[in-house]
Amino acid sequence: MLATVLSDCRVDVAAVGGAGELAAVLAQRGVALFDGVISEQQLLQLAARLGRIVPHRDSNPSGITVLADRGDVRPRPGQAGFSRQPLAPHTDCSDRLEPPGLVLAACVRPAERGGDYVLVDGQAVHDELAAIAPDALADLSTRRGAYFGCAAGIVGNVFEPGLGQLVGMRLRRDELARFAPHTQRWISILGQVIYRHAVSIPAAAGCGYVVNNRRWLHGRTAFTGHRTVCRVHLDPHPGWRIPAGFAVPRPAP
């Protein structure tokens, strides 16, 4: 699917009030796109306007994780981001009890070929499953349907109920994800629905995105060359009122 479906989510972050507009788009749509962020310092400045930086295992002291090919023929589990391989759409930090609310990324060096961003609206995936495969959605929403991470991982599921009427997503489909039998049987259907809602965006120099990490999945296509993307995890400032997921009306009792 072409990125034109997200054309109204692009924000001029260099403009006066750009951070506020970015947060407003995030609060409504769960994703925002931007251009012109070509250095780690610019990315950190934008991050500070949106929220509090959450360190990651692979981040540097400033909180930035530099995603580039490290040349490993077979990356270790959970390290495919440091290769040229495609990354299936996923949420970040699925092995944490409370994953960071936002993922902010910008391309500082584009690939020679490929390396497009791939974004998927989890609310659209949820809604399609509710319409065409309600049994799948029910099993993908049970409280103990999956295990994410290594020994100190988290028991959860793809769709998790939150406060009020919110639902949050938690998903990875690599070696660090294990699904219970009643959940595993629906993973193929889940993958098909995710594919139908995937949006590809060329990762040109300075092009970036922010996603609600409990709603939108993000990934990339395979690439050649020396592609470098810088990523920051954030918890948004409370004043921006960015929900930890998406709203789903509860059925009447």
pLDDT at 152: 86
| Contact (Cβ atoms closer than 8 angstroms) between residue 244 and residue 162 | yes
Token pair, residue 171, equals 């998903």
Residue 96 burial by CB count (10 A; 0-12/13-18/19+): exposed, middle or buried? Answer: middle
> Could you report the per-residue pLDDT of 143-195, keeping only the tens digit for each?
999 999 998 899 999 999 988 889 999 999 999 999 999 999 999 999 999 99
Q: Is the pTM of this model over 0.75?
A: yes
pLDDT at 238: 97
The neighbouring-strand residues paired with 65 are: 231
Fold held by 3-242: Double-stranded beta-helix (3.60.130)
> Could you report the per-residue pLDDT of 204-234, keeping only the tens digit for each?
999 999 999 999 999 999 999 999 999 999 9
Write the DSSP assignment of 122-164 as a string of letters.
HHHHHHHHHHH-HHHHHHTTSTTSEEESSTT-EEE-SEEE-ST
| Contact (Cβ atoms closer than 8 angstroms) between residue 154 and residue 96 | yes
Looking at every residue in the chain, the average pLDDT score rounds to: 94
pLDDT at 250: 67
> Could you report the per-residue pLDDT of 15-51, keeping only the tens digit for each?
999 999 999 999 999 999 999 999 999 999 999 999 9
Q: What is the DSSP secondary structure assignment for residue 31, as one 8-state letter?
A: E
Per-domain boundaries in the chain = 3-242
**Percent of the chain residues topping a pLDDT of 70:** 97
Q: What would the mean pLDDT of 89-97 be, rounded to a whole number? A: 97
